[in-house]
Structure 1
Amino acid sequence: MYSNSTVYIIGHGRTSSDNVITERFKIFFINFIVDTENDEVVDLSCSATIPTTQEFIASLFVGKKFDKYYKEIEEEVLKRYHGTSQKAIIIAYKDGLKRYMEVKDKYY
């Protein structure tokens, strides 16, 4: 399903203690599939408990570049996602990006 040029990266973020994600998973995470040839997010899943939420979060990242931090992505999350995990999404994005850059530096 994924080409040999893709990598699987996980970013973590904390949600509030009253969030169902915290009760179920203890932490919010986003799994990014990134193509190392063009640094594009080709797929994504996350620890959202509702499929629509997972699909919406994917729509914020799939097709976007993952080669550096983009303030525009954070601003889009702030503008469009108004669930209790908003800040956790941004933190998971930054954490995933950091991990991706480490992988890129080491292997590519």
Structure 2
Amino acid sequence: MNMKTKSIYFTGEARTTMDNAITKIYGTFYMAFEVDASNGKIIRTDCNGTMKLTKDFINRIFEGKIFDDDEEKIIEEISERYYASSTRAIVVAYRDALQKYKKVKKDILEKNSKEKYSEE
């Protein structure tokens, strides 16, 4: 994969409380992240929240941040700005997606390193 020209897509999932509308409608909370493969910058997020305002608000928390480097900043911002029953689920879903991202990032870097080494 050429990291300079592509974005990559990750999902994370988490459980919400039993009385949460997300649980009643979907069963599980899902978040999706589009990330710039060249620098880890979050381009866009989406989730299966039940209200457009919720989805837009969550997107603004994540948008423009670096997926792995800004982990602490992202979690802090969630806890300081988001006061709803799915707060914990957002953090858990983000961390679930982050683990997938770290694995893919490692694999991409190793592949690019091997390709560079074989060209020399």
Fold similarity call, TM over 0.5: yes
Distance between the aligned counterparts of 2:74 and 2:8, measured in 1?
20
Map of 1:6 onto structure 2 = 7
Query: Does the CA contact (< 8 Å) of 1:11 and 1:95 recur in 2?
Result: yes
Q: Is 2:55 the counterpart of 1:54?
A: yes
Higher helix share: 2
Query: Does the CA contact (< 8 Å) of 2:5 and 2:38 recur in 1?
Result: no
One-letter identity of the residue aligned with 1:22: T
Tell me the TM-score normalised to structure 2 length: 0.83
C-alpha deviations, 1:23-43, integer Å up to 9, x for none? 111111110000110100001
Structure 1 stretches of 5 or more lacking a match? Answer: none
Identity %: 36
Query: Does the CA contact (< 8 Å) of 1:68 and 1:97 recur in 2?
Result: no
C-alpha deviations, 1:8-29, integer Å up to 9, x for none? 1001111000101001111111
Tell me the TM-score normalised to structure 1 length: 0.91
Query: Does the CA contact (< 8 Å) of 2:10 and 2:32 recur in 1?
Result: yes
Map of 2:33 onto structure 1 = 32
Q: Which has the larger radius of gyration?
A: 2
How many pairs does the alignment contain? 106
Query: Does the CA contact (< 8 Å) of 1:34 and 1:43 recur in 2?
Result: yes
C-alpha deviations, 1:35-63, integer Å up to 9, x for none? 11010000111010100000000000010
Secondary structure at 1:64 match in 2: coil
Give RMSD over aligned pairs.
1.4
Structure 2 stretches of 5 or more lacking a match? Answer: 110-120
